[in-house]
Structure 1
């Protein structure tokens, strides 16, 4: 299956920025990531979807008019954000968008603000454009070291690896990423991992998932981006469910899971409002997607992006400052914030 750039997290919505998303590997460490609940039995461990980071919409500081995360937290009940993007500066050294320092700038202020509000962040590595650590780092050990540098800098409970485009289509880079994640998980007890990548209407191809299973890497949430399927006039809720069912089947086949376990290791990251291909994902679609995610206990329910979750000041500008649909501020975020896993 070929992967058009439009499936790799918005060439339109991110083309003015250094990067976009496709494979998101979110890692979450420590028991504090889970909401308070009765002590589970050994046979029924808490699922990732019960944790607050399971609903962490993307927040992007690198372009446009980023929202105040404290305002979003207070208005919606969402506490976590997937913070985009960690890239290469041309070497195997991680920086925000490949240029902003890892600590001490706007991104650290965002982390501090979110944590002050009772939440946390899932830094997102990669995207559709810009220099990728997955490409710049010479081997899996070096790549794992770059991931670890960010984990240590922020005492992270989560990371998000976003792999797409040439990086996703390269078997060598896929394997390097898988091996690096195996090392990071071994070195960070309790680290939870998501992997997000493109999908067609029937679901993703099995390349990354199959290689991971063959390599002994078990991630907590394989995440697809179910949009940019081909233009306006489509029922995006139905297509989202169809693609995620396809993801579940791929995960089930690779790992030998039951249907239930496969859904619990699957996730989705939608796009709110008008997509790059001029599809429209409405708040009604989000309600349907929420019901579907709740029925199947998906590992992750996210979207690109909270930056867009507000009405446009005028005509839709084809960028990431608003959704392009008639809405109140943070309306999409409020819907997914109700997800209980």
Structure 2
């Protein structure tokens, strides 16, 4: 199903002065190994709904983010300049029926090698909730509908099979959709994905022949093997005790993970054996971290300040090993 919007608030000229303030370089922080030199690089404007929910990086140094409460997709340059690429339409009911949250929000985002951005929009309405696509220089299109009763959240792209995978935080499902769009298929409904009162399956990554997902309510990381025929295997819990876990990223060292712990204002280093240590906290500027991305030895940590209601931002740190 494709919904093409003839009129969207799309801006190519919204620059840094009206949107962010750059923080001066900060001295080395008390970040714990293997992270160091943490600093708040960009301050976003809470009053404008600039709550960065998810992030994806491009080779040219640009970071693309979803501003959840503003319903926006934005590009952040290496120098902190922000350009709003699109503002999605508000649902007719104002989004009050969005499951669990009661407001419409843009969530997961990924970038394909050709520059196409794929992202998720949750509104609680059948006409807007789903998977969206923005090609360079184009206009956003919804390319797959998702259930209005669901909350699409995490997003991962397998360019080899041209498949997008989506976590649904309220329906406890991972959906799959071809990159050209179409009908969403329930790839996994493993009980480990289900919520336990609020939000279940959340962050999502493809790594070493499996889909890895988090469960916010249960504080867990899951590994779901991708079988040779593309179907889902049985979910294995690889880590527990991660209160408020949102999205995450692999460090490049096997199955070692950096995980954003939104509700407790922390980033955890999760080892392959499931143990973890805290490597960033509010002392390094975190304000409800939502996701993690890596470019070389630089770690990007956007914070949406959902609970703190103070200073949504982007913290950078160095990965030393």
- Give the TM-score of the pair, scaled to structure 1: 0.30
Q: Decide which structure has greater strand share.
A: 2
Q: Decide which structure has greater helix share.
A: 1
Q: Which has the higher contact order (CA 8 A, sep 6+)?
A: 1
- Give the TM-score of the pair, scaled to structure 2: 0.32
